[in-house]
Amino acid sequence: MNNLNQIISHFNIKGTVSEVKPLGNGLINDTYKVNTVEPDAPDYVLQRINDSIFTDVDLLQHNIYEVTTHIREQLEKEGADDIDRRVLTFIKADNDKTYIKTEDGTFWRMSIFIPDAITVETVNPEYSYHAGKAFGEFEAQVADITDRLGETIPNFHNMELRRDQLRQAVKEDRAGRVAGVKDFIDELEKYSEEMCLGERLFREGKLKKHVCHCDTKVNNMMFDKEGRVLCVIDLDTVMPSLFVSDYGDFLRTGANTIAEDSPEFDKIDFRMDIFEAFTRGYIESASSFLTPLEISLLPYAAELFPYMQAVRFLWDYLNGDHYWKCKYPEHNLVRAKNQWHLFLKAKEHEAEMKKFIEGLNA
């Protein structure tokens, strides 16, 4: 507590700290709720930044500050109400940055706690529609600041890179596992050219990068008590990326009928009710900046992300399971096959997806 109070003292907060306690169950950062004594002073959120994942903390915080400041300016121009609950507010420290580095080498930041707000874990058509609309609106709000941001995790959703990583893992065969999955590798390779379409179109100048959230889970939105979306949160992965990132990433997890590491492959399907709800909301808010080509490629994005994740899980399996934590020796292989089956199910629905999108734009 004393150490945390010392960290807090570097930030320009209002009020007197009364209590600091753990907040939430995040997997990446250590997060604390900072309560203040005075009724007119806000409470705060204190976070330790995981610099092993986000190695360039200055760029990370630069991106977040640029995005939140830009959204706040837009809301002010629109005359929006309740602005402090509709965009995250990060606090400057005594070094004039939105983070500090302590003597022990850890990085910390503070933001204003949003009161009377909740997150949800439920993935159903109602919340999927809200998610599509919220993330599309977020992208629309920051569509004009792409050149002001950098990539906090370079090539995060680059399919060509993931393909090349898998091929290198096959060549090296560090864990001696290639022979046992040769048929699976061959099946993945059949679609590799098709799935690298995004990078080819980008090089040809037919696609450009947008500011994307890059972690579009339903629990990365704040709702008020009436169930209305307040704002998008968890902005660490905000960076320039192809349009596929936010759209495909949500559907990879949201539209799967089972958990991504379940071995019950026969129970896997691609949920069209989730696809339709999320797509309806996303196009409603993102159509202001999406090109006709990007809209036509949304089914490709829905297929790309389970395929990419299958490639990444298999890459880790072949390298000896060093990236993701595994509970048993075949865990990464099961994950890879799970995502492969989801990809195939999404492919089966491709014509249906295209027809639905065409209907929205008719």
What is the predicted pLDDT for the residue at 2?
57
- Cβ atoms of residues 211 and 121 within 8 Å: no
> Nearest-CA neighbor of 64 among 77, 76, 49?
49
**Model confidence over 164-205: pLDDT tens digits?**
999 999 999 999 999 999 999 999 999 999 999 999 999 999
Q: Which residues lie across from 224 on neighbouring strands?
A: 117
Average pLDDT over residues 217-231: 88
**Model confidence over 320-360: pLDDT tens digits?**
999 888 999 999 999 999 999 999 999 999 999 999 999 98
Ordered by start, the domain boundaries in the chain are 2-115, 125-360
What is the predicted pLDDT for the residue at 362?
63
Among all chains, which residue has been given the structure tokens 């990365």?
Answer: 220
**Model confidence over 37-52: pLDDT tens digits?**
999 999 999 999 989 8
CATH of 125-360, one of 3.90.550.10, 3.20.20.70, 3.40.50.300, 3.90.1200.10: 3.90.1200.10
pTM exceeds 0.85 = yes
Which DSSP letter does residue 265 get? G
From the CB of residue 110, how many other CB atoms can be counted at a distance below 10 Å? 25
Distance CA 168, CA 163 (A): 9
Distance CA 244, CA 216 (A): 11
What is the predicted pLDDT for the residue at 27?
45
pLDDT confidence tier of residue 1, bands split at 50, 70 and 90: low
Distance CA 69, CA 57 (A): 18
Domains 2-115 and 125-360 alike in fold: no
Distance CA 270, CA 353 (A): 11
Distance CA 5, CA 78 (A): 38
- Cβ atoms of residues 295 and 353 within 8 Å: no
Distance CA 327, CA 227 (A): 37
H-run or E-run covering 211: strand 210-212
Which DSSP letter does residue 270 get? B
What is the predicted pLDDT for the residue at 29?
58
- Cβ atoms of residues 242 and 207 within 8 Å: yes
Among all chains, which residue has been given the structure tokens 């696609």?
Answer: 207
Distance CA 137, CA 25 (A): 26
> What rounded mean pLDDT belongs to the chain?
93
User: H helices then E strands: how many in the chain?
Assistant: 13, 10
What is the predicted pLDDT for the residue at 284?
95
In CATH terms, the fold of domain 2-115 is Phosphorylase Kinase; domain 1 (3.30.200)
The SS3 call for residue 312 is helix
Better-predicted residue by pLDDT, 65 or 26: 65
